[in-house]
Amino acid sequence: KQEVTQIPAALSVPEGENLVLNCSFTDSAIYNLQWFRQDPGKGLTSLLLIQSSQREQTSGRLNASLDKSSGRSTLYIAASQPGDSATYLCAVAGNTPLVFGKGTRLSVIA
């Protein structure tokens, strides 16, 4: 059974810092990995999707990498801003639907 772990559970950084969120999964037989953002009391917004054949994807200040063989992904956020404060969720899809980690709650302090 696929299990997804996100470390750290919470992170607080000053504005302007570059930061890395980590995601690990137990079964490397995945089709794709998706990073989501969730604001308090809101739904999930898809940030980046990496197919199993890809190593990374970039969107603006966000860069996600995937190392399928080691079961790891990272989400890099450059020049963090207070508006980046949210919970970031990692999810993997294999021959089953998306399995989610419990997220990293990010606070960017102005």
Residues that bind other proteins (CB under 8 A): 31-32, 34, 36, 41-46, 49, 89, 91, 93, 96-103
Buried b / exposed e over 8-45, threshold 16 CB at 10 Å, is eeebebeeeeebebebbbeeeebebbbbbbeeeeeeee
Q: Which is nearer to other proteins, 45 or 81 (CB)?
A: 45
Which is closer to other proteins, CB of 71 or CB of 103?
103
**CB 33, min distance to other proteins, A:** 11
In the complex, the smallest distance separating the C-beta of residue 16 from other proteins, rounded to whole angstroms, is: 30
CA dist 109 and 83 (Å) reads 10
Rank residues 18 and 58 by Cβ distance to other proteins and give the closer one: 58
3-state secondary structure of 82: helix
Nearer residue to other proteins within complex by CB, 32 or 85: 32
Q: Cβ 52 to other proteins, closest distance in Å? A: 11
